[in-house]
Amino acid sequence: MSEILQEKSAKQEKPIKKRSFIDWRYLWYQLTGSPLTMVGLVVILLILILVIFAPIFATHDPNTIDLRARLASPSADHFFGTDEVGRDIYSRILFGGRLSIAVGFGVVIVAGFIGTLIGALSGLIGGWFDTITMRIMDVVLSVPSLVLIMALAAALGPSLVNAAFAIAIVRIPYYVRLSRGQALLVREMPYVAAAQTFKASRWHILRWHVIPNILSPIVVQATLDLGNTILLAAALSFIGLGAQQPTAEWGAMVATGRNYILDQWWYSGFPGFAILLTATAFNIFGDGIRDILDPKQNAH
């Protein structure tokens, strides 16, 4: 009898695993059932492997100048040809991908974190705080995004860091509106009312009840934003407000290569294709994640 009681007590003392608010096994199961989404995921993983391990896959130093190989066409020695000073375009694309993709992830993380926190607080607190916050967001959203990003980047000065900062500022209101709408729904749930009955603090409710239950649409929005952010960063570099020469960055490479587009198509063609492929892969993957995590889709 004592042994049975000891076994029961031992089972009761086992740590309970914390429930995940996103069922990752179900998500993976759904991903494997969508061939197009899996193609996007595979392309993203291949690109990330290439840019992360760029020193291994690169054939030349991206900044080494060789005037004897100036504007050389694609060959076995230079897979994607060379630029106007003989630098290997293939190697520069690999190292430039580090900057372009890092900007995409950095902007999404910063804008998503700040926007989600502000929006969740606004939806949970309500009142004057909600009114003031949303009016500020409305003012920012009333200006065309690209125009506002260009104005901020120009005011801050031409650099990739300032361009990323400008994009992040403009993207924050989208996360604020999304998270606020979700928080307004969550705060009416019985478990939030129960927490308030037990005098739980707003920070406790926000951390344990609101934010975990609004993560799904935020993840979808962040995934879709990655491709758009990479395109915006490349566009700013193209017009001279982002990365500056001799930095290896996709948008800056396309901007310089456009001067040679008629005769040396590879100069701007391959960096442009890298931008297109990466942005398309993230958009395809983001669409698949949206279809999986959207409750309306799952209901059918």
What CATH number did the domain enclosing 110 receive?
1.10.3720.10
Burial 247-286 (b: 16+ CB within 10 A, else e): bbbbbbbbbbbeeeeeebebbbbbbbebbeebbebbbbbb
CB of 76 closer than 8 Å to CB of 55 = no
Residue 72 lies in a domain: no
As a whole number of angstroms, the distance between CA 167 and CA 155 comes to 13
CB of 285 closer than 8 Å to CB of 275 = no
- What value does the mean pLDDT take over residues 131-143? 92
pLDDT reading at 252 higher than 70: yes
Residue 28 lies in a domain: no
Q: In the chain, helix, strand, coil percent, each to 5?
A: 75, 0, 25
Residue 9 lies in a domain: no
Residue 15 lies in a domain: no
Residue at 7: amino acid letter: E
Report the candidate in 19, 132, 88, 120 with the shortest Cα–Cα distance to residue 248: 88
pLDDT in tens, 87-132: 999 999 999 999 999 999 999 999 999 999 999 999 888 889 999 9
Alpha-carbon torsion 9, 10, 15, 21, what sign?
Answer: negative
As a whole number of angstroms, the distance between CA 192 and CA 270 comes to 53
Range of 107's domain?
A: 33-55+77-295
pLDDT reading at 298 higher than 70: no
pLDDT in tens, 202-232: 788 888 888 888 888 898 889 889 999 999 9
Residue 26 lies in a domain: no
Which pLDDT score, from 0 to 100, does residue 291 have? 80
Measured CA angle at 43 (ends 76, 84), to 5 deg: 40
Residue 159 lies in a domain: yes
Give the count of alpha carbons within 13 A of 144, CB side only. Answer: 4
Residue 278 lies in a domain: yes
Which pTM value belongs to this model? 0.84
Number of domains forming the structure of the chain: 1
Residue 300 lies in a domain: no
